[in-house]
């Protein structure tokens, strides 16, 4: 019989973080760097914010900007071995600050291996839209045998049992969480499937930390406050697509319409992405992504600084000295009005 879970499941907009007495006097006291122990034995250090492996955000240009801030870029899976060789002929990639992304087909595997032969990278991101299929776990296990010391990320899922399965049997270090929250995603509309992202993070972080794993909260961030809520809910890393798109550093031209400057941003399962990369859209699958014209935002440095400033400020409101302390310092309040919309 179909079941109904009656416990409320929450999105970022359903909560606020309650302020607490704090001993901090200035935002400059806050340290946004984290050192994270991974299951594979590696220690990762940096600012735990990641640009999504979408072809509009997971690019070398975005990497160059984010790496200056200590953040990570998950490079998209359409870069070839030759692209990496060419890039490295004049520039250096920091092995901790970018990920090589892959799907789970045999061709994906061969491409990944050939790239890892020419690139010094500590991260592998195994990314499929529906992480609930057994082949993902098998693929990760094979990768773990081949690369015992690499940090392996796998996703996407949004429930605790699959987090545990990927960490324990797939032997991954980090699980990527998010089914349906993405700004260019239409999964919830097309399939009716999804989990509100704040609840998914709370549940999956608890499950992952129980088996020495980590999570990335992926998708649904609309403002720095959402990022702070994701860290407050226990996310070890936060991944963003839409918020890192629309800048000078992102691919595509600026489009002008009715005096407004825009740039194109599209989901990786959208018809646009399928046609671009595979020449067609298979008719047995529906498109679970959309194409958007989003406001042109100028320099990506301004956006990342806005996010880092916002999270620093959250820390001073709740008495957290660093991102690591945010979860234990966070109390969420349920709210039905996050913002004063009087002038909207």
Query: What residues act catalytically?
Result: 185, 187
The enclosing H or E element of 81 equals helix 81-90
* Binds ligand 5GP (CB under 6 A): choice among 14, 122, 187, 250: 187
Residues between 207 and 226 that touch ligand 5GP (CB under 6 A): 218-221
In sequence order, what E strands does the chain have? Answer: 15-17, 34-37, 43-46, 49-51, 72-75, 98-102, 123-127, 151-157, 174-177, 214-218, 237-240, 255-257, 260-266, 291-295, 332-334
DSSP strand pairing (214-218 vs 174-177): parallel
Segment interacting with ligand 5GP (CB under 6 A) among 81-89, 111-119, 203-211, 268-276: 268-276
Q: SS3 of 291, please?
A: strand
DSSP state of 161: H
Q: Which is nearer to ligand 5GP, 195 or 240 (CB)?
A: 240
**x-or-dash pattern for ligand 5GP, window 292-321, by CB under 6 A?**
------------------------------
DSSP state of 273: H
Q: Rounded to the nearest whole angstrom, what is the least distance from the CB of residue 270 to ligand 5GP in the complex?
A: 5
Distances (CA, A) of 73 to 62, 259, 321: 7, 32, 25
- HEC string of 46-70 equals ECCEEECCCCCCCCHHHHHHHHHCC
Minimal distance in Å, beta carbon 210 to ligand 5GP? 24
Residue 104 makes contact with ligand 5GP by CB under 6 A: no
Which residue minimizes CB distance to ligand 5GP?
Answer: 289
Assess 195 for contact with ligand 5GP (CB under 6 A). Answer: no
Question: Per CB under 6 A, does 182 bind ligand 5GP?
Answer: yes
SS3 (DSSP) at 151 = strand
If one asks whether residue 157 binds ligand 5GP (CB under 6 A), the answer comes out as no
Using CB under 6 A as the binding rule, whether residue 242 contacts ligand 5GP is answered as yes
Pairing of strands 214-218, 237-240: parallel
Number of residues that bind ligand 5GP (CB under 6 A): 25
Q: Provide the 8-state DSSP code for 97.
A: S
Q: Least Å distance between CB 129 and ligand 5GP?
A: 6
Is there binding between residue 239 and ligand 5GP (CB under 6 A)?
A: yes
Instruction: Tell me how far, at minimum, the Cβ of 50 lies from ligand 5GP, in Å.
Output: 9
Sign of CA dihedral 283, 289, 294, 297: negative
| Shortest spacing between CB 195 and ligand 5GP, in angstroms | 13
170 part of the interface to ligand 5GP, by CB under 6 A = no
Regarding 196 and contact with ligand 5GP (CB under 6 A), the answer is no
Q: Which two tokens stand for residue 149?
A: 């010391």
Q: What's the min distance (Å) between Cβ of 24 and ligand 5GP?
A: 29
Binding site for ligand 5GP (CB under 6 A): 52, 54, 129, 156, 178, 182-185, 187, 218-221, 239-243, 267-270, 288-289
């Amino acid at each position: 019989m179909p079941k109904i879970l009656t416990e409320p499941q929450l999105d970022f907009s359903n909560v606020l973080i309650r302020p607490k007495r704090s001993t901090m006097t200035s935002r400059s006291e806050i340290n946004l760097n984290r050192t994270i122990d991974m299951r594979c034995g590696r220690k990762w250090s940096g600012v735990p914010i990641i640009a999504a492996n979408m072809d509009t955000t997971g690019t070398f240009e975005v990497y160059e900007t984010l790496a200056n801030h200590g953040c990570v870029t998950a490079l998209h899976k359409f870069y070839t071995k030759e692209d990496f060789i060419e890039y490295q002929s004049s520039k250096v990639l920091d092995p901790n600050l970018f990920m090589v992304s892959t799907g789970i087909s045999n061709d994906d595997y061969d491409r990944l291996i050939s790239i890892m032969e020419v690139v010094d990278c500590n991260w592998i991101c195994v990314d499929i839209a529906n992480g609930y299929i057994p082949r993902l776990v098998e693929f990760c296990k094979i990768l773990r045998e081949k690369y015992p010391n690499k940090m392996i990320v796998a996703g996407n899922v949004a429930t605790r049992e699959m987090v545990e399965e990927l960490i324990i049997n797939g032997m991954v270090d980090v699980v990527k969480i998010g089914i349906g929250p993405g700004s260019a995603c239409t999964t919830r509309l097309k399939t009716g499937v999804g989990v509100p992202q704040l609840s998914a993070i709370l549940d999956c972080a608890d499950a992952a930390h129980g088996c020495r794993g980590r999570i990335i909260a992926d998708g649904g961030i609309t403002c720095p406050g959402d990022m702070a809520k994701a860290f407050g809910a226990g996310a070890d890393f936060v991944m963003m697509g839409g918020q890192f798109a629309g800048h000078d550093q992102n691919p595509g031209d600026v489009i002008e319409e009715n005096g407004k400057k825009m740039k194109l941003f599209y989901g990786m399962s959208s018809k646009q992405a399928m046609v671009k990369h595979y020449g067609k859209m298979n008719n047995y699958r529906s498109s679970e992504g959309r194409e958007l014209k989003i406001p042109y935002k100028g320099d990506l440095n301004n956006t990342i600084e806005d996010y880092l400033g916002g999270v620093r400020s959250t820390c001073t409101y709740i008495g957290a000295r660093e991102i690591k302390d945010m979860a234990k310092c966070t109390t969420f309040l349920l709210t039905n009005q996050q913002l004063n919309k009087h002038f909207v």
